[in-house]
Amino acid sequence: MTSLTRSPGRLTAGTESFLLDKPGAAVVGLRADSEQQAGGQGLQLADAGDEGVGPVIRRIASAASRHDSDASFPSTNLAALHRAGLLDLTVPARFGGQGRGLAEAARLLGAVGGACASTGLILAMQLNRHAALAREGRWPRAVHARVARDAVQHGALLNALRAEPDLGSPTRGGLPASTLHARPDGTWRLSGRKTYVTGAPGLTWMEVWVRTAEERPRLGYALVRADMPGVRIVESWDQLGMRATGSHDVVFEDVVLPAEHAVDLRAPEDWAGADPAQAVWNAVGLGALYNGIGRAARDWIIRFLHDRRPTSLGAPLASLPRMQEKVGEIQSILLVNDRLIASVAAETDARGPPSVSDSLLLKTILTENAVRAVELAAALAGNHAYARANPLERHLRDVLCARIHVPTADAAHAAAGREALAPFAA
């Protein structure tokens, strides 16, 4: 088991160490190695302050089954992450956040995802959006400061709301029906409906993808505080996996917004082309989250194979060469993911993002590997993998949701294929 100790301003984990902003600060450097228990539950912390990572991960893991079973929103998990200083991991230091990069975000998402995938997905959206705001710098500074400090001080959650019932995902093209109307006094009025809003019950701030009701419509984001009059959540989320994310529909009925809450409106052509930085944060963040599920499944099947002793065998299933081979296959898949996540994240933090098409493929590779790892574990467990009493059943349902996030595999492969074929076109 990896032992973690503290010295002033630094956390040491085996041979690795991670800088802390100050003594007693939240621990964000998580080592994901083969000795770590499912979801980071094997982490040991000494003098971790009010909330260290290890206790938080164990608390999140202990509640995962209940939240999955009743599809309840994991508010206590998110509150624990806030107390540990982890909801502001990517908020810039100038606003009181930790200002960390993709590598540390990925390590955290892997640990939380293995403990409770739904909590991990909500966290992924939070870290991604704050990193994007810091990177792009397009919001009015005062508005950005208010949202960022709200995350630091109160654990306020932020997410971007893009999908709509009729539009689907904007990545496939088309204009949103959600509309921003200019009012004579300079304020705005927003009407529309968004779907699959991850974390909807817990959001404080919503970045809503809109069009303006102008002769030449602009596209972009309007910032809405969730408790504004006219904002309504429709509890539509009842899915097979990621059941506790509360990814419901959100309806906006003549919501009046201050002028400065039209935070990023542009001509449609200015939105053409994907952002390489956003593409890699999406790929590595989701890849780390779902790889965490794969690790949790791996850890469960290892314990199961050691504990299961059929009378006909007279020994643990772990002693069978076939079981050893398949566990080795799982290990190889997770190893590839670990190395890809770590290397791409480190390169992005140090030198910048890879191409968009590379990141689209990366998301597909990482998530498909995670799915395969869990499927292999389920095949080894047989009927036990589908028993609601066993967490492997939840891991299988959750990991399949990886295929729904954009880019889907077909879009990623088509984009890469076009790019590869283009130089040879007549």
Tell me the pLDDT tens digit for each residue of 259-293: 999 999 999 999 988 999 999 999 999 999 999 99
pLDDT range class, residue 174, cuts 50, 70, 90 = confident
pLDDT of the residue at 52 = 65
Q: Check residue 273 and give its pLDDT.
A: 86
Q: List, for residues 133-150, the tens digit of each pLDDT value.
A: 999 999 999 999 999 999
Mean pLDDT of 293-300: 98
pLDDT digits (tens, 9 = 90+) for 317-373: 999 999 999 999 999 999 999 999 999 999 999 999 999 999 999 999 999 999 999
Q: Which residues pair with 224 in a beta bridge?
A: 206
How high is the mean pLDDT of the chain? 89
Residue 34 has pLDDT above 90, yes or no: no
Check pLDDT > 80 for residue 35: no
Tell me what the mean pLDDT of segment 393-405 comes to: 98
State which amino acid sits at residue 42.
G
Predicted pLDDT at 132: 98
pLDDT tens, residue by residue, 406-424? 999 999 999 999 999 999 8
Q: What is the pLDDT of residues 77-132, one digit of tens each?
A: 999 999 999 999 999 999 999 999 999 999 999 999 999 999 999 999 999 999 99
pLDDT, tens only, 207-254: 999 999 999 999 999 999 999 999 999 999 999 999 999 999 999 999
